[in-house]
Amino acid sequence: DILIIGGGLAGLSIAHRIATTSARHVTVLERETPAVQRAKTTAGSFAAAGMLAPQSERLPAGSLLDVCLESREMYGEWVRGVEMAWPWEVGFHSTGGFLAPAFAGDAVATWSPQPNSGKSYWLDEIQVRELEPMLHPDVIGGWWFPNDASVDARRLTCSLRASCVGAGVQMLFGEEYEVNSLEMSGGECKGVHLANGKIYAPNAVIVANGSWMRHLLPTPVTPHKGQSLSLRMPNNAPPLLSRVLFAQDTYIVPKADGRIIVGATVEPGQYDGDVTPSGMLHCMSEATRLIPGLADLPIEETWAGLRPTTPDKCPILGKTEQWDNIYLAGGYWRNGVLLAPKTGQLVGDLVI
Asked if residue 341 and residue 257 are part of one domain, the reply reads no
Asked if residue 332 and residue 315 are part of one domain, the reply reads yes
> Any idea what the CATH number is for the domain that residue 210 is in?
3.50.50.60
Asked if residue 108 and residue 15 are part of one domain, the reply reads no
Give the count of domains, the chain: 2
Rounded Cα distance, 336 and 7, in Å: 13
Rounded Cα distance, 289 and 275, in Å: 21
Asked if residue 290 and residue 157 are part of one domain, the reply reads no
Asked if residue 288 and residue 168 are part of one domain, the reply reads no
pLDDT of residue 38: 59
Asked if residue 297 and residue 240 are part of one domain, the reply reads yes
> Any idea what the CATH number is for the domain that residue 229 is in?
3.30.9.10
* Run of H or E including 36: helix 34-39
pLDDT of residue 41: 62
Rounded Cα distance, 77 and 174, in Å: 32
pLDDT of residue 57: 93
pLDDT of residue 116: 85
pLDDT tens by residue, 243-286 = 999 998 899 999 989 999 999 999 999 899 999 999 999 999 99
Q: Which residues of the chain have pLDDT under 70?
A: 35-42
- Do 233 and 256 contact (CB within 8 A), yes or no? no
pLDDT of residue 81: 92
pLDDT of residue 11: 98
Asked if residue 270 and residue 161 are part of one domain, the reply reads no
Asked if residue 237 and residue 297 are part of one domain, the reply reads yes
Asked if residue 341 and residue 242 are part of one domain, the reply reads no
Helix (H), strand (E), coil (C) string for 49-70: CCEECCCCCCCCCCHHHHHHHH
What pTM, to 2 d.p., does this model score? Answer: 0.95
pLDDT of residue 33: 83
Asked if residue 136 and residue 52 are part of one domain, the reply reads no
Using alpha carbons, list the distances in angstroms from residue 287 to 40, 104, 203, 231, 257. 24, 17, 48, 11, 20
Rounded Cα distance, 244 and 88, in Å: 23
Question: Which of 275-310 are b and which e, b meaning 16 or more Cβ less than 10 Å from the residue's Cβ?
Answer: beeebbebbbebbbbbbeebeebeeeeebbbbbbbb
pLDDT tens by residue, 277-318 = 999 999 999 999 999 999 999 999 999 999 999 999 999 999
CA dihedral over 87, 146, 301, 258, signed as positive or negative: negative
Range of the domain at 11: 2-90+152-221+311-351
Strands 199-200 and 251-254, sheet pairing:
unpaired
Strands 121-124 and 141-145, sheet pairing:
antiparallel
- Do 339 and 331 contact (CB within 8 A), yes or no? no
Helix (H), strand (E), coil (C) string for 89-140: CCCCECCCCEEEEECCCCHHHHCCCCCCCCCCEEEEHHHHHHHCCCCCCCCC
Asked if residue 298 and residue 184 are part of one domain, the reply reads no
Rounded Cα distance, 89 and 86, in Å: 9
Asked if residue 235 and residue 201 are part of one domain, the reply reads no
